[in-house]
Structure 1
């Protein structure tokens, strides 16, 4: 099965094919992403800025379209791999493509904004499902690989961080 996050049609075809299997899906990990560092602004075939589509819009669409399989696999989870770069992002819902001229585009703006937008998916899903009877569990979350790696280092090599503070 093919999945191209730069094409929302591809995302929909993938989800349809997966759901047609009628099997459970226990975990969906949205880990694909791009950071086209220093490159000029590019748009997907759907007309969205590439970072926003690959890092947020396509995984969000995939998550929603796979809900039937996730519900069949309950208890199940959606895990979004994020970045601490979200903390410098800003999402303007009227200018998600950063084309209005109110902000100057850079790859850092595109990436950090897409990662901030990605953080909204778990909140939206929890808000939706808290009002329904379909799914009563912790549904979606996000993780930061660098933070997890540093925590693992701390556990494996307790003196590791002291090397940098002396």
Structure 2
């Protein structure tokens, strides 16, 4: 039934303008991040692309300006697998931007072979969760000063196959790339819930979402059988424009103004797994994240 309802649900659209607002989007040089940047630019926002590959980012900036007719688009270097890069990026934003109304934690790595970040974290939990956790922490004062503001974190329905291994969050004892990915996406949802509680009464709201099964570069690490399955499923998947809609919905939909901490899919509230609603687990993950990043964030 739910599938049928989704099929006949009218597609979401909104004429909300974002003049005089500033948005930072991580990993916005490709896929749904780039489509999100194009949409927000068309609405009049100043958009900062936070990207690891500056060559690709500069090409994306050009494309976004051409597509949106808004030349208030720029890119800055951000490598979420390196806390030094995250701190340098945040320092530059805090110094040069008078406000930050939208932080879109979009970048991610997916089912990659085992690897570690510059800080020694397993790559998927390191980039997808800890990198964005640190980035949000370093920008939170500016975001609060810019309220009303929103923090949108791209998760995935894959979170529902995940669990948080607090004893071995870096998968050092055993590594399964799919489980590590699912863990990192569950972490995104728990982070959003915890953050919402801490931001109550500040005018800053938070959202996590499943973009849909989107055809993106993230699939490059899938095995041959997985690639084959994806090819068969292609007619049922979304392109990047469709995949960006729920991110955009969470960023601009006026009816969400008083909502915070929730999980969304297909431009509507959605159910996350039981683990995704576990506030005790969320608190433990928050404390562990602070400890791993050597920060204090009450």
User: TM over 0.5: same fold?
Assistant: yes
Q: 1:146 aligns with which of 190, 203, 212?
A: 212
Q: Any conservation in 2 of the 1:55–1:115 contact (CA below 8 Å)?
A: yes
Q: Any conservation in 1 of the 2:144–2:204 contact (CA below 8 Å)?
A: no
Q: Deviations over 1:58-101 (max 9, x none)?
A: 0111111111221122100000011000001111122101123x
Q: 2:101 aligns with which of 5, 16, 26?
A: 26
Q: Any conservation in 1 of the 2:124–2:181 contact (CA below 8 Å)?
A: yes
Q: 1:123 is matched with which residue?
A: 193
Q: Deviations over 1:27-68 (max 9, x none)?
A: 11110001134x2x1111101000001110001111111112
What is the CA–CA distance in structure 2 between the aligned matches of 1:56 and 1:114, rounded to whole Å?
6
Mark the runs of 5 or more structure 1 residues left unpaired by the alignment: 153-166
Q: 1:93 is matched with which residue?
A: 166
What is the CA–CA distance in structure 2 between the aligned matches of 1:10 and 1:63, rounded to whole Å?
14
Q: Any conservation in 2 of the 1:24–1:71 contact (CA below 8 Å)?
A: no
TM superposition score normalised by structure 1: 0.78
What is the CA–CA distance in structure 2 between the aligned matches of 1:18 and 1:138, rounded to whole Å?
18
1:55 equivalent to 2:128? Answer yes
What is the CA–CA distance in structure 2 between the aligned matches of 1:46 and 1:151, rounded to whole Å?
35
SS of the residue corresponding to residue 42 of structure 1 reads: coil
1:42 equivalent to 2:42? Answer no
1:3 equivalent to 2:78? Answer yes
Mark the runs of 5 or more structure 2 residues left unpaired by the alignment: 1-75, 214-241, 244-264, 268-298
Q: 1:156 is matched with which residue?
A: none
Shift of 1:138: 5.3
Q: 1:112 is matched with which residue?
A: 182
What is the CA–CA distance in structure 1 between the aligned matches of 2:156 and 2:205, rounded to whole Å?
20
Shift of 1:129: 2.6
Q: Any conservation in 2 of the 1:122–1:139 contact (CA below 8 Å)?
A: no
Q: Any conservation in 2 of the 1:78–1:140 contact (CA below 8 Å)?
A: yes
What is the CA–CA distance in structure 1 between the aligned matches of 2:204 and 2:117, rounded to whole Å?
32
TM superposition score normalised by structure 2: 0.45
Q: How many residues align?
A: 143
